[in-house]
Structure 1
Amino acid sequence: MRKLLALTALAILGIFPAFAQQSEQNHAERFEQLGTMLRTPNVYRTASGAPGHMYWQQQANYVINVELDDANQSIKGSEKVTYINNSPDQLTYLWVQLEENQRGADSDTPKAAESSFDSRMTLRNLEGLIWANEDFGYKVLEVKDAKGNPLPVTVNKTMMRIDLPTPLKAGDSFTFGVEWSFNIANRVGYISGRPGYEYFEGDDNYLYTMAEWFPRMAVYSDFDGWQNKQFLGSGEFALVFGNYEVNITVPADHMVGATGELQNASQVLSPTELNRWNQARKTYDAPVVIRTQDEATELEKSKSDAKKTWKFKAENVRDFAWTSSRKFIWDAMAVKQGGKEVMAMSYYAKEANPLWGQYSTRVVAHTIKSYSAHTFDYPYPTAISVEAANGMEYPMICFNYGRPDSDGTYSEAVKNGMIGVIIHEVGHNFFPMIVNSDERQWTWMDEGLNTFMQFMAEQEWDRNFPSRRGPAHKIVPYMKSASNTLEPIMTNSENIIQFGPNAYAKPATALNILRETVMGRELFDYAFKEYARRWMFKHPTPEDLFRTMEDASAVDLDWFWRGWFYGTEPVDIAIENVSLYKMNNQTPAERMAAMKAEADREEDYVSKEFNRRDVKETVIEANPSTRDFYTAYNPFTVTPEDEESYKKFMASLSPKEKELMESDLNFYEITFKNVGGLVMPIILEFQYADGTSEIDRIPVEIWRKNESEVTKVFVKKKEVTQIILDPKRETADIDETSNYWPPQYQPSRFELFKGNGAARGASTGSNPMKRANNNQ
Structure 2
Amino acid sequence: MIKKFLFVLVCIVTSTQAQTPFQNNQSSYSEFTYRQGTNLRTASGNPGPDYWQNGADYKLEVELDEVNNTISGTVEITYHNNSPEKLSFVWLHLEQNRYKEDSRGALTTPIQGYRFDGDLDGGYNISNVVAKTGKSTNNEYLITDTRMQVFFDEPISANGGKATISMNFSYKIPGKGLDRMGRLDVEKGTIYSMAQWYPRVAVFDDVLGWNTEPYLGAGEFYLGYGDFDFKITVPYDHIVVASGALQNEKEVLPSELQKRMRQAEKSDQTVHIIQPDEVGNTQITRPKQNGKLTWHFIMENTRDIAFASSKAFIWDAARINLPEGKKAIAQSAYPLESNGDNAWERSTEYTKASIEYYSEKWFPYPYPAAVNVASNVGGMEYPGISFCGYERKGNSLWGVTDHEFGHMWFPMIVGSNEKKHVWMDEGFNTFINYYSTQAFNNGEYNSRLNRNGIVAYNKNPNREPITTHPDITQSRNLGMTAYYKPAYGLLMLREYILGHERFDNAFKSYINAWAYKHPQPNDFFNHMENVSGEDLNWFWKHWFYSNDNIDLAVEAVNPVGNDYLLTFINNGFPMPLKFEVTYEDGQKERKELPVEVWQRSNRWIYLLKTDKKLKEVVIDPDQITADIEDSNNTFIVE
Question: Post-superposition shift, 1:344?
Answer: 1.2
- Partner Cα separation in structure 1 for residue 185 and residue 91 of structure 2: 35
Instruction: Check if 1:681 corresponds to 2:576.
Output: yes
Paired residues for 1:693-704 under 5 Å: 693-704=588-599
- Partner Cα separation in structure 2 for residue 473 and residue 696 of structure 1: 24
Find the residue that maps to 2:370 and give its secondary structure: strand
Segments of 5+ residues of structure 2 without an aligned counterpart are none
Segments of 5+ residues of structure 1 without an aligned counterpart are 117-124, 405-413, 583-664, 745-776
- Partner Cα separation in structure 2 for residue 273 and residue 692 of structure 1: 65
Question: Post-superposition shift, 1:547?
Answer: 0.8
CA deviation map 1:556-581 (0-9, x unaligned): 11111111111210111122222122
8 A contact 1:473–1:729 mirrored in 2: no
Instruction: Check if 1:474 corresponds to 2:453.
Output: yes
Instruction: Show the counterpart of 2:401.
Output: 422
Instruction: Show the counterpart of 2:298.
Output: 313
Q: Residues 716 and 358 from structure 1, CA distance in 2 versus in 1: closer, same or farther, beyond 3 angstroms?
A: farther
Instruction: Check if 1:360 corresponds to 2:350.
Output: no
- Partner Cα separation in structure 2 for residue 102 and residue 356 of structure 1: 33
Greater C-alpha Rg: 1
Instruction: Show the counterpart of 2:375.
Output: 388
Q: How many matched pairs? A: 621
Instruction: Show the counterpart of 1:177.
Output: 166
Instruction: Show the counterpart of 1:487.
Output: 464
Q: Residues 674 and 309 from structure 1, CA distance in 2 versus in 1: closer, same or farther, beyond 3 angstroms?
A: same
2:481 equivalent among 495, 502, 523: 502
Instruction: Show the counterpart of 1:741.
Output: 635
8 A contact 2:413–2:515 mirrored in 1: yes
8 A contact 2:5–2:560 mirrored in 1: yes
Q: Residues 724 and 537 from structure 1, CA distance in 2 versus in 1: closer, same or farther, beyond 3 angstroms?
A: same
Question: Post-superposition shift, 1:6?
Answer: 2.8
8 A contact 2:319–2:330 mirrored in 1: yes
- Partner Cα separation in structure 1 for residue 214 and residue 21 of structure 2: 41
2:124 partner letter: Y
8 A contact 2:304–2:383 mirrored in 1: yes
Paired residues for 1:192-231 under 5 Å: 192-200=178-186, 202-203=187-188, 205-231=189-215
Question: Post-superposition shift, 1:456?
Answer: 0.9
- Partner Cα separation in structure 1 for residue 181 and residue 401 of structure 2: 17
1:738 partner letter: N
Instruction: Show the counterpart of 2:568.
Output: 672
CA deviation map 1:14-59 (0-9, x unaligned): 9xxx9xx99985525111133xx13542111111111111111112
1:166 partner letter: E
Instruction: Check if 1:78 corresponds to 2:74.
Output: yes
Instruction: Show the counterpart of 1:263.
Output: 247
Bigger mean CA deviation after superposition, 292-301 or 67-76:
292-301
Bigger mean CA deviation after superposition, 147-156 or 163-172:
147-156
Find the residue that maps to 1:30 and give its secondary structure: helix
Instruction: Show the counterpart of 1:99.
Output: 95
2:28 equivalent among 21, 27, 30: 30
Bigger mean CA deviation after superposition, 355-364 or 302-311:
302-311
Q: Residues 149 and 168 from structure 1, CA distance in 2 versus in 1: closer, same or farther, beyond 3 angstroms?
A: closer
Paired residues for 1:405-484 under 5 Å: 414-464=393-443, 467-482=446-461
8 A contact 1:400–1:422 mirrored in 2: yes
Q: Residues 213 and 148 from structure 1, CA distance in 2 versus in 1: closer, same or farther, beyond 3 angstroms?
A: farther
8 A contact 2:116–2:179 mirrored in 1: no
8 A contact 1:105–1:137 mirrored in 2: no
- Partner Cα separation in structure 2 for residue 401 and residue 23 of structure 1: 57
* Root mean square deviation of aligned Cα: 2.8
Paired residues for 1:7-156 under 5 Å: 7=5, 25-34=23-32, 37-115=33-111, 134-145=120-131, 151-156=139-144
8 A contact 1:63–1:244 mirrored in 2: yes
Instruction: Check if 1:726 corresponds to 2:623.
Output: no
- Partner Cα separation in structure 1 for residue 445 and residue 594 of structure 2: 30
Identity of aligned residues (%): 37
Question: Post-superposition shift, 1:462?
Answer: 4.3
1:554 equivalent among 522, 533, 538: 533
Q: Residues 394 and 715 from structure 1, CA distance in 2 versus in 1: closer, same or farther, beyond 3 angstroms?
A: same
- Partner Cα separation in structure 2 for residue 179 and residue 23 of structure 1: 71
Q: Residues 86 and 149 from structure 1, CA distance in 2 versus in 1: closer, same or farther, beyond 3 angstroms?
A: closer
8 A contact 1:470–1:512 mirrored in 2: no
Richer in strand (by share):
2
2:570 partner letter: N
Q: Residues 466 and 38 from structure 1, CA distance in 2 versus in 1: closer, same or farther, beyond 3 angstroms?
A: farther
1:720 partner letter: L
CA deviation map 1:62-81 (0-9, x unaligned): 00011111111111121000
1:79 partner letter: V
- Partner Cα separation in structure 1 for residue 500 and residue 127 of structure 2: 52
2:364 equivalent among 367, 377, 388: 377
CA deviation map 1:282-317 (0-9, x unaligned): 22x201111111111545999975110000001100
Instruction: Show the counterpart of 1:523.
Output: 502
- Partner Cα separation in structure 2 for residue 299 and residue 717 of structure 1: 83
CA deviation map 1:732-774 (0-9, x unaligned): 0111111121399xxxxxxxxxxxxxxxxxxxxxxxxxxxxxx
Instruction: Check if 1:237 corresponds to 2:221.
Output: yes
- Partner Cα separation in structure 1 for residue 209 and residue 445 of structure 2: 42
